[in-house]
Chains A and B, each alone.
Chain A
Amino acid sequence: MINRTIAPEIRIPKEVPIQSAETITTSCGIPLHVIAAGTQDVVKIEFIFAAGNIAASQPLLALATNDLLDEGTQKHDSASLAEALDFYGAYLQSENGPDWSGVSLYSLNKFTQKTLPYLTELITTPLFPEKEIETYRNQGKQHLAVNLNKVDFLARRNFFNCLYGDEHPYGRMTELHHYNAINSRELSQYHKDKYLNGLKAVFISGKPDQETIQSIQNTIEGSGFQKGTLPEINSIFPDPGKRFIKKADALQSAIRIGRRLFNRKHPDYPAFSVLSTVLGGYFGSRLMANIREDKGYTYGIGSGIISHLHDGYFYISTEVGAAVREDAIREIYKEIGRLREEEISTEELNLVKNYLTGSFQRNIDGAFNLADRHKMVLLNELNNNYLNTYLDRLNAVMAPDIKNCASRYLQESDLSEIVVGQ
């Protein structure tokens, strides 16, 4: 008979091998990174532009340009472009972030030579036809109107607004009327300024053949792309604040608590990221254990630390039963207070390091995940050996570091608090 009360032995790797990206420097100086891995005969091709919200003078401009790239080019109208890509089973994914904008093509290898020209076309010669913009306006307004009825959406946007203010691209809020303001001329101009003159890098992942890599290099070199960089916005940031937004019929209240912080380049980043995991970064975290698994106030609660190129922030987020809102907030501050006052036990710290080691392994598993990690390093302008030294930095974090971080960065007066609901 086996003794089921004894846990099997475990081993936690202190280093893991990481496949590096093969980097091709093109004649225009824009890097092309190739991550060849995986078992499937597919490829993902991602063009990244310095064209996210921070590059745009108006709300919605960056998003709308990104969303409407595939709505017609000099050669093909919207419908024939869609039909051609659909016919070859390909997918387009456009992603507009606070800093960067990306366009990805997912294609079966056997059709890449057919699908790639359409990708090239829509990133180099989009037309932004007024008729398609009108459809997009209707879609966007409806989508936003629905979101404005969701407590978590309202909490999130008010949180950013509270941290960064009305003027900063990270803080300004998109309203329904902004959809009326977008027009073909402005989108075309934004495309010219930030896409044609703003290519940051290109990533190919999956199992690309040599011909595909060569074709993409030709696209980069032959389309007149210029290298792009992001502006740094010097802003006066608002003081931490509290907002309560009443939504009378809400069954749950959304809560966001957090602050502006630093990004991955900061020396305290490793310790703070461990702190954030201890607090709310995994299923066994203190917030989950207390607010969900002990009190049953919520379906889920989490915290995280997000890096931008020139900034970063920390947040705690949850939706709780309206009747227990005050209790939940009190417990959140109590858990933050414990981090400031008590040193974390070796046992808990090791558990979190082990968990993060596993997360790191999962995050580099498979071609697309691995490409995303390499992309993160490049876009955050980190050292080339950042991934290879990740576990060293993680394992160097000690209990006093976490307590110091909490004292330094998580005083209650540092934190902003948003509640939406009742």
Chain B
Amino acid sequence: MIPFEKFKLSNGLTVIVHEDHSTPLVAMNILYKVGARNEDPDKTGFAHLFEHLMFGGSVNIEDFDEPLQNAAGENNAFTNNDITNYYLTIPSQNLETGFWLESDRMLSLAFTEKSLEVQRSVVIEEFKQRYLNQPYGDVWLHLRPLAYKVHPYQWATIGKEISHIENAQLTDVKSFFKKWYAPNNAILSLAGDCTVQRAKDLCEKWFSSIPPAEIQHPQLPQEPEQQQKRVLDLERDVPNSRIYIAWHCCARKDPDFYATDLLTDILARGKSSRLYLQLVKQHSYFTDINAYTTGELDKSLLIIEGRLLNSTSMETAEKAILEVIESVKENLDERELQKVQHKAEATLEFNEMGIDSKALNLAYYELIGDAAECNRQADYYNRVTRAEIIATAKKIFTEKNCSVLRYHAKNN
């Protein structure tokens, strides 16, 4: 349970405050409603590159990190397909430093050629480090375009290819900022040693003078229903083959999300899950197997990924997974449902151990509808019935709805 108060500034900035005076710190989280899905198909990776530039100095402040570290604060950020999120934690008495820094970069950036040039290189090294120079690192660069043909979820947050990042120009950067970075496209949340009144005063002082922008969230092209099974074979110099199967499923906001999430838990959460027990332990087809949903704002994917033993053929692997999936459509006992509901409840509790995750959760639930949803999640999971999970399994797990990426180990 996270008690909070919410208010809105006249420029449209939504603010959420959770008071917790048992800590001397405050977590400050600013979520901008822009992610890789808002990019031009020929200029992908831009939202994430832009996140890097947000640390390159703002209109009145030369450097973001130094004054924050000097005030005993620490910060970071992440970008995904839906959002760009900035967060910091700082001792309560220095919270105003956070307001000063975050409000100035919301107002405007310094936009220098040098900063752009360096961050292009840094992001290209990140691209190599995480996606190209790791065994299996390029999976998502192939799986997304296999499953999505129309929706911008077809590219990964890092971008389709390095050249898109190389080609980013300062004019693109400026127009991206103008288009998306404004108080009425952001949610600010605070958790920790800060009263609502102090939050209001600081917001008034630092954020209220930032003008709102004309924010257009254009209708994104929605992915049409998939009509037939897709298969992609890749061969790479890796020790073992892997299989990735993706089915289209509901969006995070959809009421069916909870049944879908529990379905993946029944399949592959923990060592007592069906896929793990049957395919890793009983038959040694895989060394590990996982199932999860991408849980994004638009229609998402349910993914199963298995790591094959060298003695398992790709055909056996796929067939074995599909057989276990069929079993969920046929039976699900009450204890199995209770088990995954308990697991979901525990996950929610443990996820709220720190003020930083509380601040992020409040902002995220506000994004998908209402911060108060944060405190209703356990209920939603507990209300899911066996019949709903079985119906969800029947709806999602059809042959024509699935895309299979067979990642073959060379010389095997």
Contact = CB atoms under 8 A, between A and B. Distances in A.
Contact of A12 (B72, B117, B270): B72
Interface string A80-118: 001101111111000000000000001110010000000
Interface in A325-360: 350-351, 354-355, 357-359
**Most interface-central of A293, A294, A295, A350 (chain B CB within 10 A):** A293
A11 B73 CA distance: 12
Interface stretch (A141-149, A224-232, A377-385): A141-149
Contact of B239 (A4, A135, A142): A142
A41 B347 CA distance: 12
A11 B94 contact: yes
A293 B135 CA distance: 27
Interface in A381-404: none
A96 to B, nearest CB: 18
Given A251-B128, A252-B129, A8 B96 contact: yes
B166 interface: no
Interface string A280-313: 0011100000001111111100000000000000
Contacts of A108: 342, 345-346, 349
A115 B38 CA distance: 46
Contacts of B71: 10, 12, 354, 358
Interface stretch (B41-49, B170-178, B350-358): B350-358
Contacts of A13: 24, 72, 91
Interface stretch (A188-196, A211-219, A257-265, A361-369): A361-369
Interface in B333-355: 335, 338-339, 342-347, 349-350, 352-355
A350 B67 CA distance: 12
Nearest to A360: B72
B350 A145 contact: no
B206 interface: yes
B166 to A, nearest CB: 12
B116 to A, nearest CB: 11
A82 B126 CA distance: 38
A358 B271 contact: no
Contacts of A282: 69, 74
A150 B135 contact: yes
A42 interface: yes
Contacts of B288: 139
B400 interface: no
A43 to B, nearest CB: 11
Contacts of B284: 134-135, 138
B118 interface: yes
Given A2-B209, A146-B239, A7 B272 contact: no
B100 interface: yes
A5 interface: yes
A24 interface: no
B135 A10 contact: no
A143 B135 CA distance: 11
Contact of A366 (B120, B280, B339, B353): B353
B70 interface: yes
A224 B193 CA distance: 45
Given A88-B342, A142-B287, A320-B125, A82 B240 contact: no
A233 interface: no
Interface in A115-161: 134-135, 138-139, 142-143, 145-146, 148-151
A355 B353 contact: no
Interface string B41-83: 0000000000000000001110001110111111000000000
A38 interface: yes
Contact of A138 (B59, B117, B277, B309): B309
Contacts of B324: none
A79 B272 contact: yes
A83 B281 CA distance: 13
A39 interface: yes
A413 interface: no
A79 B278 CA distance: 10
B129 A351 contact: no
A4 B23 contact: no
A367 B354 CA distance: 9
Contact of B240 (A85, A145, A298): A145
B302 to A, nearest CB: 20
B89 interface: yes
A177 B122 CA distance: 39
Nearest to B358: A39
B93 to A, nearest CB: 5
Contacts of B290: none
Contacts of B60: 4-5
B122 A299 contact: yes
Nearest to A176: B239
A418 to B, nearest CB: 17
B67 A7 contact: yes
Interface of B: 20, 22-25, 59-61, 65-67, 69-74, 89-91, 93-94, 96-97, 99-100, 103-104, 107, 117-126, 128-130, 132-136, 205-206, 209, 237-240, 269-273, 277, 280-281, 284, 287-288, 307, 309, 335, 338-339, 342-347, 349-350, 352-355
Given A2-B209, A90-B346, 7 more contacts: A4-B60, A38-B22, A83-B339, A146-B238, A298-B122, A321-B125, A361-B72
Interface of A: 1-2, 4-5, 7-13, 16, 37-42, 70, 78-79, 82-83, 85-91, 106-108, 111, 134-135, 138-139, 142-143, 145-146, 148-151, 249-252, 282-284, 292-299, 319-321, 350-351, 354-355, 357-359, 361-362, 365-368
19 contacts: A7-B100, A9-B96, A10-B70, A13-B24, A70-B271, A79-B272, A79-B281, A82-B270, A87-B342, A111-B342, A146-B240, A149-B239, A351-B70, A354-B69, A358-B71, A358-B74, A361-B25, A365-B25, A366-B355
